Amino acid sequence: MVKPKKRIVNRFEGNPILTAEDFPGDIVSVFNCGIVKKDGKYVMVARCEDSSFGRYMWVCDSDDGIQFTPRPEPLAMPVDNPLFMEYVHPTKSYWDPRVVNLEGQYYITHAADVTNGATCQIGLFKIDDDFQTLEWVDLISLPDNRNGVLFPEKISGEYWRLDRPNDNSFDIWCSRSPDLIYWGRPRRVLSKSCLDWGERKIGPGSVPIRTEQGWLCIIHGVRRQCTDEVYSLGVMLLDLDDPSKVLGCSTRAILAPEKEYEFLGQSVNVVFTNGTILEDDGTLRIYYGAADQVVGLAFARIDDLIESCLEDSAL
């Protein structure tokens, strides 16, 4: 039976909201970003590349969450940290920044292609309240792992995270920690076999959002289309007290490549998010990378996303 048409996520008509042309200097592409709302203003941490394929994390500021102004310079990497210099690299090996305010401290998780890209681990930065100074904490996962995202509060006295081990199952897992450094008790949260639009691999997206019904999580999935991979977004709902338990996961992709700026870029057919903002009126802003080239913005009602998880569940 064909499902009735249902669109619960709508793109901003002025997309893309951030392109390489917005940045000073030799920037040729801007990717998916982490974002927080601080003192009524929006602070974005985007990953950029230059024409020599050097990589940067660049802070951009906005009053309205639409018009963003990049700062004059990218964030300086902690090159005085010998462990960072040994395992990561100041211009090569960090991807997918996800920003969270946890107990009054801002953290950035990132994927670190360590050992010259032979494997990947989750890395952790601290950043100050003004988003000017990075402090590298450590590598916080075993290889090979990526898409690490922290929950924005402790649960039953412990820190929790979602991640996606690259173990050929490509499922979403969770683990917990007493100190953000040592992680254990891993549990599979969601199998890619549940989602046809993520039949090749799935992974966490932005920071989980606490709602009365559970932790709402935007996720991504990858499917094969002829010779290409197509990246789409979906949504799942996790138990508030035990995020290893899935309460529901929408069978539908809530956002898939449809627009030219999502089809054409460094990586074709990609929408991918690291950052969302829940507004006071229940609107969720989804900031997403499109085709590994630009940043787009989409809107959804939080209640619609929760309803899709519970009433149109793939489980």
Query: And the tokens for 247?
Result: 């309460």
pLDDT of residue 271: 98
Tokens 């996790």 appear where?
238
Domains of the chain: residue spans and CATH: 17-311 (2.115.10.20)
Q: For the segment 153-180, what is each residue's pLDDT rounded down to a tens digit?
A: 999 999 999 999 998 899 999 999 999 9
198 vs 234: CA distance, rounded Å:
9
pLDDT digits (tens, 9 = 90+) for 290-311: 999 999 999 999 999 999 999 9
Quick one: CA torsion of 206, 210, 214, 217, rounded to 10 degrees?
A: -10
Residue 91 scores a pLDDT above 90: no
Q: Strand pairing of 184-190 and 201-204?
A: unpaired
Of the candidates 281, 288, 287, which has an alpha carbon nearest to the alpha carbon of residue 302?
Answer: 281
pLDDT at 4: 78
The reported pTM is: 0.97
Computed over every residue of the chain, the mean pLDDT equals 95
